[in-house]
């Protein structure tokens, strides 16, 4: 389907939980630096969370309806999606939906070692790992006490399982982790992975962070060794990253620039929150509630998806005076 501005909507991002075992300072609501106890308060004794308002079957029903409207790419997000006790059921159910060409998942990587091989067998194609520093101290500071070693181990196990192409997503916060840019670029020397720098968006529990955004242009200016990647290898419809590489390196360095280089004109996505609300645009406040239809009238899901597509604004509202109604953990990363 096309929205009111002629953009074909073919990509659905699904947040399966708002819970997370980390407390990243630009993401989690309430406390930017939670204690270990508060970080883990949401978890069961097994270290997993039970199903929320939407079951595995609910997610499959929404994806099935979306696929009939032309959606062929799905990304599972959170919170931290690997905390869901039924995450393998969610993945296998969605993977079986006819018409999908791409099923991916974004994770913080803390549980990836345990589940990488099973996720691959369930039908997952690839993973993005959110990783904001390669320095253990800075990583712990950003995440509220996270274990960098566990994430690096998860990345290795994801590669062994064949979850590729593997991408690392890095949000830079000036004065905290922007000194490690060169270390991330160096990761692309020997391995065919993508490291992507994402500009900090104003959806943080701490509004003062907005001024600490590091722009894509700054990074490129300080690393002239990066040259544009071959434009004949596009990242697919609606791609938001611009890719560069160091000549001779196997991997790529991507830049996602929602603040300084809006890509709204090519936006092809919807976001389903973990509570069943469908958000047509990350940078707006409009939502469509699918939960009543899922409970009493599943035949209306396609109609509501079409309604949300028609509600997509021409561009996001990020900018001076923008006041977010939700933080990233509740919208879906």
In DSSP terms, 227 is beta-bridged to 245
Which stretches of the chain are DSSP H helices? 36-39, 56-68, 87-95, 112-122, 136-143, 148-161, 181-186, 216-222, 291-296, 301-310, 328-331
β-pairing verdict for 241-245 and 73-77: unpaired
Per-residue buried b or exposed e for 223-253, using 16+ beta carbons within 10 Å of the residue's own CB: eeebeebeeeeeeeebebbbbbbbeebebbb
The continuous run of DSSP H or E covering 172 comes out as none
- The beta strand positions in 239-289, using DSSP E, are 241-245, 252-256, 269-272, 277-279, 288-289
Among 145, 135, 247, CA closest to 181: 135
Domains located in the chain, CATH noted: 11-331 (3.20.20.70)
In contact, 124 and 106? CB cutoff 8 Å: no
26 Cβ contact partners less than 8 Å away, ≥ 6 residues apart:
171, 173, 200, 204, 206, 209, 328
Residue 234, pLDDT score: 55
pLDDT (tens digit, 0 to 9) for every residue of the chain, 333 residues total? 898 999 999 999 999 999 999 998 888 644 433 344 434 444 444 466 766 789 999 999 999 999 999 999 999 999 999 999 999 999 999 999 999 999 999 999 999 999 999 999 999 999 999 999 999 999 999 999 999 999 999 999 999 999 999 999 999 999 999 999 999 999 999 999 999 999 988 776 666 777 888 999 999 999 999 999 976 555 666 678 999 999 999 999 999 988 887 778 888 999 999 999 999 987 777 899 999 999 999 999 999 999 999 999 887 666 555 555 555 555 665
Degrees to nearest 5, angle at CA 278 with 274 and 284: 110
d(CA 173, CA 62) in angstroms, rounded, equals: 35
Residue 106, pLDDT score: 97
3-class DSSP state for residue 159?
Answer: helix
> Whose structure tokens read 């590489």?
245
117 Cβ contact partners less than 8 Å away, ≥ 6 residues apart:
157, 160, 161
> Whose structure tokens read 């069961």?
44
In contact, 259 and 318? CB cutoff 8 Å: yes
39 Cβ contact partners less than 8 Å away, ≥ 6 residues apart:
20, 21, 22, 23, 144, 145
């Amino acid at each position: 389907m096309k929205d009111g501005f002629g953009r074909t909507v073919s990509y659905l991002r699904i947040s399966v939980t708002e819970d997370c075992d980390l407390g990243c300072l630009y993401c989690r609501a309430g406390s930017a630096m939670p204690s270990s106890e508060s970080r883990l308060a949401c978890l069961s004794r097994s270290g997993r969370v039970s199903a929320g308002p939407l079951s595995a079957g609910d997610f499959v029903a929404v994806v099935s309806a979306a696929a009939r409207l032309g959606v062929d790419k799905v990304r599972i997000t959170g919170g931290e999606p690997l905390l869901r006790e039924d995450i393998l059921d969610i993945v296998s159910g969605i993977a079986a939906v006819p018409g999908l060409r791409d099923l991916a998942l974004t994770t913080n990587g803390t549980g990836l070692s345990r589940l990488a091989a099973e996720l691959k067998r369930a039908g997952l194609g690839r993973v993005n790992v959110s990783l904001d520093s390669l320095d253990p101290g800075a990583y712990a500071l950003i995440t509220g006490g996270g274990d960098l070693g566990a994430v690096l181990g998860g990345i290795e196990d994801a590669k062994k399982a064949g979850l590729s192409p593997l991408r690392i997503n890095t949000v830079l916060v000036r004065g905290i982790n922007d000194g490690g840019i060169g270390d991330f670029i160096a990761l692309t020397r020997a391995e065919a992975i993508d490291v992507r720098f994402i500009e900090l968006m104003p959806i943080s529990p701490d509004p003062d962070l907005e001024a600490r955004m590091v722009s894509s242009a700054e990074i490129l200016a300080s690393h002239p060794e990066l040259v544009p990647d071959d434009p004949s290898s596009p990242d697919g419809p609606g791609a938001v990253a611009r890719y560069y590489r160091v000549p001779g390196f196997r991997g790529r360095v991507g830049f996602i620039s929602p603040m300084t280089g809006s890509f709204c004109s090519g936006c092809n996505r919807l976001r389903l929150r973990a509570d069943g609300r469908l958000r047509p645009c990350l940078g707006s406040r409009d939502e469509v509630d699918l939960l009543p239809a899922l409970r009493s009238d599943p035949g209306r899901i396609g109609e509501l998806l079409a309604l949300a597509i028609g509600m997509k604004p021409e561009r996001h509202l990020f900018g001076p005076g923008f006041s977010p109604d939700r933080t990233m953990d509740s919208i879906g990363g």
